[in-house]
Amino acid sequence: EDDVQGELEPVPNDYKPMEDVSLVRKKKFPMPPITVEDATLCLDYLDHDFYVFRNADTKEINVVYRRAEGGVGLIEPEAQG
């Protein structure tokens, strides 16, 4: 399991920032709680690179995503405390 803890990679020397970072679209939609397994099925069915959902166990917003190495990753917020 990855445990990032806020560590950042150094910025590559050839990095070029985006010229336009304007927000061009905003969406709102209902987000009833679903399981991680169901979110993974939605990710596959919709054929997207990521899927944002409300986790049925934690009620938190999570993201499942396709990993470049294969498989699926899960991003969940760290507990506040």
Q: Say whether pLDDT at 79 is over 90.
A: no
Q: Say whether pLDDT at 57 is over 60.
A: yes
Segment (H or E) for 28: none
Categorize the per-residue pLDDT at 58 as very low, low, confident or very high, splitting at 50, 70 and 90: very high
Q: Say whether pLDDT at 4 is over 60.
A: no
Q: Across-strand partners of 32? A: none
What one-letter code names the amino acid at 38?
D
Q: How many angstroms separate the CA atoms of 13 and 21, rounded?
A: 21
Categorize the per-residue pLDDT at 26 as very low, low, confident or very high, splitting at 50, 70 and 90: very high
Which class for 74: exposed (0-12), middle (13-18), buried (19 or more C-beta within 10 A)?
middle
Give the mean model confidence (pLDDT) for residues 59-80.
94
Half-sphere exposure of 33 toward its Cβ, with a 13 Å CA cutoff? 6
Q: What are phi and psi of 36, to 5 degrees?
A: -60, -40
